[in-house]
Structures are given as structure tokens and as C-alpha cells.
Amino acid sequence: MKKTKVIVGLGSCGIAAGASKTYNVLEAILAKGEMDFELARTSCIGMCYKEPLVEIQDEKGKIIYGDMTAETVEGILKSHLIDGKIDLNKAVFAEEQKTPEDSFFEGQVKIALRNCGYMDPESLDEALQHDAYKAIKQIIQSNRSQEDIIQTMIDSGLRGRGGGGFPTGLKWKFAYQNESKQKYIICNADEGDPGAFMDRSLLEGDPHAVLEGMMVGGYTIGASQGVIYCRAEYPLAIKRLNIAINQAKAKGLLGEKLFESDFSFDIIVKEGAGAFVCGEETALIASIEGKRGMPRKRPPFPAVSGLWAKPTNINNVETWANVPWIINHGAEAYAAYGTAKSKGTKVFALTGKIKHGGLVEVPMGVTINDIIYKLGGGIQGDKKFKAVQLGGPSGGCIPAELGDTIVDYDSVNATGAIMGSGGMVVMDESTCMIDLAKFFLNFTQEESCGKCTFCRVGTKRMLEMLERITDGKGEDGDIEKLENLAHQIKNNSLCGLGQTAPNPVLTTLKYFRHEYEAHIYDKKCPAKVCKPLLTYTIDPEKCTGCTVCAVKCPTNAIDGSRKQIHFINQETCIHCGECYNVCKFEAVMVD
Amino acid sequence: MRITRIAETKETILAVDADLSLMRPLLEKYGKKPGSLIPLLQGTQELYGFLPPDALKAISQATGIAPADIYGVATFYAQFRLSPVGKNIIKVCHGTACHVQNANAITDALKDYLGVNDGETTTDGEFTLESVACLGCCSLAPVMMIGENTYGKLNGKSALKILKEIKSQLLTDKPKAEK
């Protein structure tokens, strides 16, 4: 009989939810000798909302339990291993049995994430069992031509998953056609979008897939050196990448004269130092060269003159992870998924006011509603779905009315948002769209490298206008000024950061103009978020005269003695909301 | 552009104490390698917790890169600090997911309790409060990180409770360490 295996999900989010403590408890149980099992680890399977996750593999099959904290894990393990009971209500996945969470996996197609959560990311042996390095080995040993591989990539329809959506095969073709003794392959792992963590999960869960993808790219364009530019905020991803590189080198899968051929390939990891603009390819190259990460004019494109002025091909983490799968399964298998112009699958990080937050991979062409209601389980607290923000600070908001929009590059672009790298932040009626636009603009304004005037000064001026509006000082004509400036910034900025920075404002203006008008003309915030626009009053019917609000009020704006109905003096009230937070009788009303 | 982080004179006096010999292995490893300025600065910051001006001069001497260029790089990237920080860094995440789940309430509560503004260090040198763009734990939003530990699904009150626990832990650990 095969030994029972207990596997803990140790991705960054699992660890944040307490998975390391769960792992320690399991180690202690093992040391006591009451139960016998093999303890192992894996990475994120995408189900962040049920972390920490523990998987048990025994003769009953494979079962994953959710919410396995240090406190609950022992009980569930005992009932499973000793009493032989499977608690399906606590399970999130069970082979051949239904669990309450099955809807999260239905409709997902895992290509880029094929191994994430299914193997130990720090074990090369397990990766090899999951077909790692099969594609590059096959290419080299069959002496496949570079043109043929490029054609396969073009036929697969794979487009850049970092957000640009440029056909990967064509990109490779340009870098291949430029003759040079030295060329470079770069993996862009500078995932800076707030609200996106697809690349991090991929690097933590299946680093070998990314390395292999880069090797295939290197073989095709004729490069012998690869660089992974990873943001320093992802220490676990960097650690696992370095482990994977060393393992592959030790086994002769990476390095000189691979698989007895003339092809040599080496990969190094460069840590970013915290600059959002370095996600832009020319800024990223400048940063690798040790300079300030400022973008430059294109052309020349990196395919002609990139890192150290040599032909360079840059793709994002998710793109690279797709490559070995396409080589192994063929272009047709990949192109079978998706829509006419957007093939394959896309990974999304589902966050915000959603019940089932996590990482999902879906075929292109599913609708936004499908993702939110079927996979995501709907909105937290069953509130009303208001909008979804796609593409981070460069993207835009898609309102609930357009929930039937299908997810592919062209349909998403048509709404004014962009596909981006795959952050999907869901918002309910309690989110103020102007506050959100202000949030994104504050981010891009701070991250602007300062090279172009429109981006540097323009975003600052837009932010100031939005701040005025949310402070209740908006004036007639502000909306038109915002629109005018937004278009100027879009048209006159050098790189993607500036060209897309006004998108959150433009899309919220397009779909939620009435909210801007309510802020400016009625001095009201419909979502009750912008504090200067709120009025706090006390409901005399509900007030019990407990004095808690009067004691807490920082400006002594609340009058009333014990067991008397209280009253808020609007002139001294600073709208801090403290009385609303402390009232136990819901007597403080906000308008 | 982060020109706000220029070190003040008061803090540069502190930097005289930096033991520059600690940097020797780092300079030997990266000194002559092209494109190594960022790893050099990262390594230096790891040694001292920030980038002392003397260390920047030492890097300039070893690499031949002009001090102005080094300063330009050091002020460009958010990771680099030109002034010393507290022993414990509190990073409150203000990514999109945390923002819509009211990360502001956490920062406000901590600011109030510690008596510092965003980016500042408490007078006892124990805590530095920082807002960061995204810690990548979006499904646990809102989150904060104190030292190496991440705490999720917070509100102002629970964040404060965690900080108070850590503070009392530090106070009980201190006498032991002195013995």
C-alpha cells in the first residue's frame, strides 16, 4: 500500500494565512508517532480564500481541505486518517465526490498553471515527472529548425500575457532575424500592478516551466543568456527560482552544450528595486544595466537593440510558462481554446469584494459574469455587483451592465479598459468610483519616472482635481478639464505608463459620470466613502443616550447627557466617522 | 519621482559610524562587473539598513561610477533609503484590493497610536510606518507586514491589537537581552 501523503500549500498567501504554522503542527504530530504519513509541500492552487490548504492522498483518493489552521488541522487529520471519515463540508476538492467548492474549479483550464499546487516546487524530480524540460529536449534532439518553432508559436496564437497582447511568435521572429553573436532573453517578472499576483504564484509554484520557456526562446532566437527581472518584493519567488536554476544546472539541463548539442544557455536572476515603470521593457533593460529605470524612445525596439545594445526578446512570466506546453501539445491544441483573435487561456487574480478570491485560469472568451458569479461565487455579503477593474492602474472599470463582455483582448479594449496582466478587482456598491480613480492616479503619479512633462505634471494636476472633487470643492467645468487633460496625457507620453495612466479616470467618467456629478453639484458621495461629503446625524428613535459617541468625538461636536438623546453639532463635526463606528445601536446615520 | 527622501543633515552625522570594512566582500564581488550598481546598493542597504553617504562614496571609488549617478539611482527606486529606519518596519499594504477593503483605516489607526506620519520612525527608533503598493496577498486584504510576518483580514482595531502585542513582547524581551 502506498504511504499516505499530507501536502501543505506553502505559497506566499498560504503562508500569510498561517500555513507555516500548520506545517509545524503537522511536523509535531509526525514526531509524536500517533499517525504515520509523508509530509510534503506544494504551492498555491489558486484557492486563496480557503487558505491554508492541506491535501491528503491515501487509498480514499485525493482530498483537499480548506481553512486548515494550526488549531483545526489536528482534528480533521485524525478523523480522516484514524476514523476514516471524510468531512466533505470542510473539503474544497475531492476526487469523484462533490464538495461545496467545486464551482471554483469548473470552467477552469490550467495550462500556464498546470503544475501549480500539484507538485513540490523545490523538487526537480517532481518537476521532471510533470514533463519539465521535455519540450527543450525534444527540440534539441530532433534538431528542429528555428523557423519551424516560430511558426508553431505564430500558429498557436499566443499573445503577450503581460498586457500588451503582441503576438509572441512575431516578437521572436524579429529578434531571430537580427543577426548578432550575442542576444538576450529576458523574463519580465516585475509584476507591479497593485492587485495582481499571477506571476508571483507561477514563479513560486512552477519555476521550471518559466526556465524551460526561456530556453526554448533562447534556442529559437539564438541567445545564450537569459535574465529574469523579478521584483524584490517577491522573496519566495526569487528563492525558488534560484533553487530551480541550481538544480537544473546540477543535472545538466541548463548550462553548456545541452543534451549533447552546441546549444548553451544560462539564466540569472536580477532583483528589481521597486519601480513600477520598470515593467516597461526599455525601462526594465535600463534597470538591468544598473541605471535609473527610465524608458526610452522606440524604435529601435529591443529586438534590434536591447540589453547592452544587443538584440533582446522580452516576454512576461505567464507567456514563458505557456511555451513548453505549446511545444509539447502542438499549436492546434492551444489554439483550440479561445476566440478568433485571442487564443488559449488567461490567468486572472480575482480580488476585492468577491466571495472566492484567488487565482483562476480560464479560456479566452468566457464572460466577466461567468468569472465573477460561477468561479468567484458572487459578491461578498451578497451585495450588488457594481464594477470590475481590469488591468490595474493602466486599465479601467467595466460596469456591471457590461458583465456579459467576453474576456479577450479586443472585447476588453472596446470597453475602454485593457486586459492588462490579469488583475481583476471586483467592487460592490460600497466602492466610490471617484475614490478609486483617485487611488490609481495617486499610484501612477507617484510612479511616473518624470521623463515626460505630460505624465509627470499632468497626472499630478489630474490628481489634484480629483482630490478637490472628493473634498467637496469640485466646480462646474472640472469634468471637462479632466477629460481634456486625460486625452493630452494619453497622446503625449512616451511609454505605456503615461499613455494608460488616465484610463481609470476616463472609464469611470464614461460609465459613472453621475457619481462625478453628484460629488461636484450635489456635494454628495453616493457610495458614502468620501468623508468630507458625508453628514452624520443621530436617529432620536434609536439613540439610548449611552454617551459613547460623545466621549469618543475628537472635536466634542456631540451634545447630550446620559440617557438623553444626543445631537451632532454640524459646525464642529469633522466627518471622521468615529461616532458611526462606535455606536452599538446603529443610531448614527450617514448621508 | 521620489525627491522627498533626501537625507537630512542630522541623519548624515549618524552615518559617520558606519563600519565601511563590512562592504569589502561586496565591492570585491561586484566592483568591476558592469550593471551591478543596483545589487551593490541592495547589498549595502542590507548591511546598514539604509545607504550611508560614506558607503555611496566607497561604491563610487570602487566602481568608477560618478557619485551623482549613484545618487540618481538610489533616489529613483523605492527600495533604497537614505536615512536610518526603525528596528521594526510596519508595511501597510495599499494595493487596490486592500484599498477597496479600507486599508486607510489601518494606516490611520497606526499613525495615531505611534504618533508618526507615513514613512516616519518613532522617536525611540523601534518602529517605522510605511505604505507599500502591493504585498501580493490580495485575497487576504487588507494586510500589513511587521518584520517578516504578514497579517491579513485586518481592520483598524485588530491591526492595533497586533501592534500592541508585538510592543509588549519587545518590552518583555528587552530585559532578558540585557542580562
CATH number at residue B142: 3.40.30.10
Distance from CA of A75 to the nearest CA of B (A): 24
What are the DSSP calls for A54-75, one per residue?
EEEEETTEEEEESS--TTTHHH
Residue intervals of chain A classified under CATH 1.20.1440.230 are: 433-522
Residue A276 pLDDT: 92
Q: Sorting pLDDT into bands at 50, 70 and 90, what band is B12?
A: very low
Q: What is the mean pLDDT of residues A108-125?
A: 95
What is the end-to-end Cα distance of chain B in Å, rounded? 46
CA atoms lying within 13 Å on the CB side of residue A212: 29
Between CA A278 and CA A555 the distance in angstroms is: 45
CA atoms lying within 13 Å on the CB side of residue A356: 23
Residue B58 pLDDT: 93
Cβ separation B35–A13 shorter than 8 A: no
Q: Give domain status of residue B48, yes or no.
A: yes
Q: What is the mean pLDDT of residues A9-13?
A: 86
Residue A444 pLDDT: 93
Q: What is the CATH number of the domain that holds B33?
A: 1.10.10
**Do β-strands A558-559 and B88-93 pair in parallel, antiparallel, or remain unpaired?**
unpaired
B154 and B122 within one domain? yes
CATH topology of domain A433-522: de novo design (two linked rop proteins) (1.20.1440)
Contacts with A233 from chain B: Cβ below 8 Å: 132, 134-136
Backbone angles phi, psi at A398, to 5 degrees: -110, 125
Question: Where does a domain end: B44, B76, B108?
Answer: B76
Instruction: Express each pLDDT in A271-318 by its tens digit.
Output: 999 899 999 999 999 999 999 999 999 999 999 999 999 999 999 999
Q: Give domain status of residue B81, yes or no.
A: no
Instruction: Express each pLDDT in B27-78 by its tens digit.
Output: 998 888 888 999 999 999 999 889 999 999 999 999 999 999 999 999 999 8
Which range is most confident: A101-115, A321-335, B156-170?
Answer: A321-335
Domain count within chain B:
2
Give the Cβ contact number of residue B172 at 10 Å: 8
Residue in chain B closest to A48 (alpha carbons) equals: B139
ipTM score of complex: 0.86
Looking at the partner chain, which of A17, A294, A431 has a beta carbon nearest the beta carbon of B152? A17
What are the start-end ranges of the E strands in A126-195?
184-189
Average pLDDT, chain B: 84
Which range is most confident: A112-116, B9-13, B84-88?
Answer: A112-116
Contacts with A196 from chain B: Cβ below 8 Å: 134, 138
Distance from CA of A144 to the nearest CA of B (A): 35
Residue B133 pLDDT: 78
B133 and B102 within one domain? yes
Residue in chain A closest to B109 (alpha carbons) equals: A578
Average pLDDT, chain A: 93
Question: Where does a domain end: B53, B76, B99?
Answer: B76
**Do β-strands A54-58 and A61-65 pair in parallel, antiparallel, or remain unpaired?**
antiparallel
Cβ separation A271–B42 shorter than 8 A: yes
B119 and B67 within one domain? no
Q: What is the mean pLDDT of residues A534-561?
A: 91
Instruction: Express each pLDDT in A354-377 by its tens digit.
Output: 999 899 999 999 999 999 999 999
Instruction: Express each pLDDT in A442-470 by its tens digit.
Output: 999 999 999 999 999 999 999 999 999 99
Instruction: Express each pLDDT in B108-143 by its tens digit.
Output: 999 999 999 988 899 888 999 998 877 777 778 899
What's the CATH architecture for A345-428? Answer: Roll (3.10)
Asked whether residue B177 carries a pLDDT value surpassing 80, the answer given is: no
B170 and B101 within one domain? yes
Looking at the partner chain, which of A16, A289, A352 has a beta carbon nearest the beta carbon of B150? A16
Q: Give domain status of residue B154, yes or no.
A: yes
Distance from CA of A254 to the nearest CA of B (A): 23
Q: Give domain status of residue B10, yes or no.
A: yes
β-strand partners of A424? A350, A390
What are the start-end ranges of the E strands in chain B?
88-93, 127-132, 144-146, 149-151
B102 and B43 within one domain? no
Between CA A344 and CA A327 the distance in angstroms is: 14
A534-590 is a CATH 3.30.70.20 domain? yes
Between CA A365 and CA A351 the distance in angstroms is: 20
Asked whether residue A529 carries a pLDDT value surpassing 50, the answer given is: yes
Asked whether residue A386 carries a pLDDT value surpassing 80, the answer given is: yes
Residue A1 pLDDT: 57
Domain of B154 in residue numbering reads as 88-178
Q: Sorting pLDDT into bands at 50, 70 and 90, what band is B13?
A: very low
Between CA A186 and CA A45 the distance in angstroms is: 26
Name residue, grid cell 499632468: A458
Coil vs helix vs strand at A134: helix
Looking at the partner chain, which of B38, B135, B140 has a beta carbon nearest the beta carbon of A273? B38
Q: What is the mean pLDDT of residues A530-543?
A: 92
Q: What is the mean pLDDT of residues A377-395?
A: 92
Q: What is the mean pLDDT of residues A103-130?
A: 94
B100 and B37 within one domain? no
Q: Among A193, A347, A351, pick the best mutation site for testing chain B contact (most B Cβ within 10 A).
A: A351
Q: Give domain status of residue B47, yes or no.
A: yes
Q: Give domain status of residue B82, yes or no.
A: no
Contact call for residues A455 and A448 (beta carbons, < 8 A): yes
Contact call for residues A78 and A35 (beta carbons, < 8 A): yes
B49 and B93 within one domain? no
Share of chain A above pLDDT 90, in %: 80
Residue in chain B closest to A11 (alpha carbons) equals: B137
Contacts with A232 from chain B: Cβ below 8 Å: 42, 79
Residue B17 pLDDT: 64
Between CA A208 and CA A138 the distance in angstroms is: 16
Contacts with A350 from chain B: Cβ below 8 Å: 139
Looking at the partner chain, which of B2, B42, B137 has a beta carbon nearest the beta carbon of A13? B137
Distance from CA of B31 to the nearest CA of A (A): 12
What's the CATH architecture for A5-102? Answer: 3-Layer(aba) Sandwich (3.40)
Q: Sorting pLDDT into bands at 50, 70 and 90, what band is B178?
A: very low
Q: Sorting pLDDT into bands at 50, 70 and 90, what band is A174?
A: very high
Q: Sorting pLDDT into bands at 50, 70 and 90, what band is B14?
A: very low
CATH topology of domain A124-335: Rossmann fold (3.40.50)
Residue A360 pLDDT: 94
Give the Cβ contact number of residue A352 at 10 Å: 29
Residue intervals of chain A classified under CATH 3.40.30.10 are: 5-102
Alpha helices (runs of H) in A121-278, residue ranges in sequence order: 124-129, 134-141, 146-156, 168-177, 198-205, 207-221, 235-250
pTM here?
Answer: 0.91
Contact call for residues A232 and A205 (beta carbons, < 8 A): no
Instruction: Express each pLDDT in A34-71 by its tens digit.
Output: 888 999 999 988 888 888 999 999 888 889 999 999 99
Cβ separation B38–A450 shorter than 8 A: no
Residue intervals of chain A classified under CATH 3.40.50.11540 are: 124-335
Residue B176 pLDDT: 52
Question: Where does a domain end: B43, B76, B109?
Answer: B76
